Amino acid sequence: MNKLLELRNVTLKYQTPNDEITAIENLSFNCNDGDFVSLIGPSGCGKTTVLSLLAGLITPSSGSILFDGERLSKSNDNLGYMLQKDHLFPWRTIEKNVFLPLEIKKINTQENREYAISLLEKYGLKEFKKRYPDQLSGGMRQRAALIRTLSSKPKLLLLDEPFSALDYQTRLSVCDDVYRIIKAERKTAVLVTHDISEAISMSDKIIVLTNRPAQVKSILYPKLVGDSPLSRRESKEFGTWFEKVWKELH
């Protein structure tokens, strides 16, 4: 399969008035087209920093990041970033929120708007497109946030603990929703999480990171029966995999 993303010996140091901190050291991994990859690691190990690197928000101190075989540039139109909270703008309707990346990237054409609307319709937010975010439930808002991420047709989605702000029930169903949408749209995704079950139930590939400075500790390929995170959670092997990841983390 085609390598969409490739990190080669990426190191990131950043300066504070008191110290120089090495957040990431010699980090290397690949991500194939269509993969769902999870980054999991102890808290504070720099998981989010890895995403910021992938999003082009910061540049590595050394090493290289290749996207589709080319060096990652600052304004990469093929990326969509999704954060913990939905961060929908309360003064914009759902529809206008979904158009936001189109406006920013100056590709706000009739065709692209229609595509965004079609996503809203396909994923059950048709009646809500003229509503404001505070009129929607937490789960629907997160779904709208995902559609906003998808509206500019990115190849790679970066998900930074996108479910952690939701309560448990909503979390399971939104997790299912997001997985279904990402797979249906054939997107590649990198998920950062500290939730082992979430990582196992969603990913083709789990990258376990060490304590800071973050390095790859091990890579696991969970193979579970089931076509959705919920059904995977119910499969027999789930417990075994949970233990495996748990041991890697501790």
Partner 1 sequence: MKNKNQLSRDRILYLRKIKRDNVLVWTMRFALLIIIVGVWEVLATFNIIDSFISSSPSRIAKTIKELFVENNLLKHIGVTMYETVVGFLIAVILGYFIALLLWWSERIRRILEPYIVVLNSLPKIALGPIIIVWFGSGSKAIIFMAVLIGIIVAIMTMLNGFLSTDKNKILLLKSMGANKIQILIKLVIPGSLPTLISMLKISVGMAWVGSIMGEYLVSRAGLGYLIVYGGQVFKLDLVMASTVVLCVLATFMYAMVALLERFIIKFKMK
Q: Could you tell me the sign of the dihedral formed by the alpha carbons of 177, 180, 184, 189, in that order?
A: positive
CA atoms within a 13 Å half-sphere pointing along the CA-CB vector of 51? 24
Tell me which residues touch partner 1 (CB under 8 A).
55, 57, 74-77, 79-81, 83-85, 87, 89, 91, 100-101, 103-105, 132, 152, 158
Residue 152 vs 201, nearer CB to partner 1 = 152
Residue 99 vs 179, nearer CB to partner 1 = 99
Give min distance, CB of 154 to partner 1, in A.
10
Matching residue, tokens 């269509």 = 34
Give min distance, CB of 18 to partner 1, in A.
19
Residue 79 vs 208, nearer CB to partner 1 = 79
Residue 127 vs 234, nearer CB to partner 1 = 127
Give min distance, CB of 104 to partner 1, in A.
4
Are 240 and 225 in contact by the 8 Å Cβ rule? The answer is: no
Are 215 and 207 in contact by the 8 Å Cβ rule? The answer is: no
Burial of 247 (0-12, 13-18, 19+ CB in 10 A): exposed
Give min distance, CB of 103 to partner 1, in A.
7
Give min distance, CB of 142 to partner 1, in A.
14
CA distance 189 to 183: 9
Residue 101 vs 213, nearer CB to partner 1 = 101
